[in-house]
Amino acid sequence: MIVAHLPAGYIVSTLLFHRFEKYGASRLIFLRAGLLGSIAPDLDMIYFYGFDHRAHPHHSYFSHFPSVWLLLLTLAILCFQHCKQKKLALLALIFTGNGMLHMLLDYISTNIYWLAPFVNRPFALITVPSVYQDWWLNFLLHRSFALEILIVLWATCLWCRRRLARHELVE
């Protein structure tokens, strides 16, 4: 997935906020934690380009292992259930939840190592053929990119609706 991680994080965070509003986190902080979580796995690109010099696929780093995000999400759920201070645990919950969502979205058209670190084998729901020299063009012109466009449109609609509702409140 190329462009839809952030919009997907926005959709999930926006739709879930009202359920968790009572725990004291402001909408803005909740949204920021959710958006950061939705792109956090891709921060490994810094290591990929800066230190690994593209020697290994960045999806083979631990930062893209679903087991890591599942573990973090489980810890966040446990903290949320058992800690008295729910606000911080809630932010960890939306952060790790969107990190896990990132794994699912990446899995649609790129390799994800679902069984890592135990089995070093990638899985992808759809294989995007390498037709063009530029890797991103292969994804952009593949039918699976339609899903990304839908996610971006959905997020845009949500954002516009919120802005409109806020504008009506002010007037």
Binding site for Zn ion (CB under 5 A): 41-42, 106
Task: Work out how close the CB of 106 gets to Zn ion at its nearest, in angstroms, rounded to a whole number.
Answer: 4
Task: Work out how close the CB of 164 gets to Zn ion at its nearest, in angstroms, rounded to a whole number.
Answer: 32
Helix, strand, coil shares, percent, the chain, to 5: 70, 0, 25
Q: Which is nearer to Zn ion, 38 or 90 (CB)?
A: 38
CA distance 162 to 17: 13
Q: Which is nearer to Zn ion, 93 or 103 (CB)?
A: 103
Task: Work out how close the CB of 59 gets to Zn ion at its nearest, in angstroms, rounded to a whole number.
Answer: 7
Closest CA to 151 of 105, 104, 103, 107: 105
Q: Which is nearer to Zn ion, 89 or 128 (CB)?
A: 128
Task: Work out how close the CB of 95 gets to Zn ion at its nearest, in angstroms, rounded to a whole number.
Answer: 15
Within 13 Å, how many C-alpha atoms sit on residue 33's CB side?
20
Q: Which is nearer to Zn ion, 106 or 148 (CB)?
A: 106
Asked if 98 contacts 13 with a C-beta cutoff of 8 angstroms, the reply is: yes
Residue in this structure with the two tokens 């952060």, named with its chain if needed: 95
